[in-house]
Structure formats: C-alpha cells, structure tokens
Amino acid sequence: MIESEAALVERMRRGDENAFEVLYARHQPAVYRYAFRMTGSRDQADDAVQETFLSLLSNRSYDPGSGPLRAYLYGTARHLLFRMWGAAGRVDELDGDYPMEAPDPLEGLEAEEQKERVRQALAGLPPHYREAVVLCELEELSYAEVAEVLGCAVGTVRSRLSRARAMLMERLSGERCRA
C-alpha cells in the first residue's frame, strides 16, 4: 500500500529520516529545476530548495485537503523567490495585443544559439511572466496545476503565458536588431 504524502510529511515532521528521504527524492528535483530556471543561479536554487523543505518541516500551513504536495512546494519556492527579489505579490496584467506573427527572430540561427538567446530573453522577463513560461513550457505542468501554484484562474495562466511568449519574441527581435 502506498503511503499518502500527508502521512509522509507527518512522519518527516516527527523526525523520520526515511519519510524525509522519500519526499526529498520525489520532489526536490522539481523544486530545484523550477528555482534554477527562474533564477539562473545554482546557489539560489539550492537556497530555495533548502528553505522550501525547511518550511515544510516546520510550518503547519501544508493542508493535504487543499491540493497536492507538489503544488504546495512550488508555491512555497515561488513565494521565497519573490520575497528574495522583493517583487510585489500582485502582478499588473499587461493589456494590448502583441504581434504574434512578427518576423521570426530565431530564423537562421543554430539551435545552440537559439537556445542561448531564449535563455537570455527569458531571464529578462518580469518574474510573473517568466514563471508562466517556466511552469508551463519547461516544467510542463498543466494549466490547472499552474493555476493552483500561482493561485489564479486557469484563464489567467493562459493569457499570462500567451503574453509571456509574445514578450519573448519581442525581446528576441530587439536583440536580433541590435545584433
């Protein structure tokens, strides 16, 4: 019988090393990837993982009834990162249309160069838009899962991702023009 994550968390809080090892092996990679993709820094990603699991150990705010543990951990890591950046909890949703069929800024570039340019453009996005790309495109979470992590509606996730992609294209185009 597979033990529930809530039971594992409870055991871990009581000092059960095996429960900790199971939870850590199961969720640490995702939390680390998310933090690393958001910050681009391995040290900051390490800090985020440590703080996230410490929070799970000591904080009673995890409620198994309110959603899966993975969403709680993403949410905690996200909160820590935003606090670290001093970013406001609210996001100003950008209005207006973005040209979706602008000249292709990646055309003619080698795959490696495309990747590098996208990495740089992603790092330059405002955090709320960057995380939409990271969670939906890189972490491959469903819109519903991302909505749970971000604490917003699924529609908001869709529109934020759409705008984030458009902003990426715009930045890539700008970069291409400067080059």
Partner 1 sequence: MNGQGRLSEALKALAEETSDGGASPKVRAALLREVRRRRIRRAAPWWLAAAAALTIGVWLGVSTKQQRPAAPEMVSAPPVMEALPVRQDPRPALEDAPAVQAPSAVVVKRAAPARDAVSARLAATPWMVHQALPPVERGQVLRLPVSAELARQFGVPQQSGEWQAEIFVGDDGLARAFRLVRVPAYK
Give 95 or 101: the residue with its C-beta nearer to partner 1.
101
Least distance in angstroms from the C-beta of 10 to partner 1: 12
Q: Which residues bind partner 1 (CB under 8 A)?
A: 12-17, 20, 24, 28-29, 31-33, 36-37, 42, 45-46, 49-50, 53-54, 57, 100-107, 111, 114-115, 117-119, 122, 133, 137-140, 165, 168-169, 172
Least distance in angstroms from the C-beta of 108 to partner 1: 10
Return all residues near 68 (Cβ < 8 A) that are at least 6 apart: 5, 148
Query: Nearest Cα to 35, choosing from 72, 77, 69, 75?
Result: 77
Give 103 or 174: the residue with its C-beta nearer to partner 1.
103
CA distances from residue 6 to 13, 33, 104, 148 in whole angstroms, order as listed: 11, 23, 47, 18
Pairwise CA distance, residues 30 & 120, whole Å: 21
Least distance in angstroms from the C-beta of 88 to partner 1: 26
Give 133 or 149: the residue with its C-beta nearer to partner 1.
133
Least distance in angstroms from the C-beta of 50 to partner 1: 5
Pairwise CA distance, residues 129 & 24, whole Å: 28
User: Which residue is listed with tokens 């000249």?
Assistant: 103
Give 133 or 146: the residue with its C-beta nearer to partner 1.
133
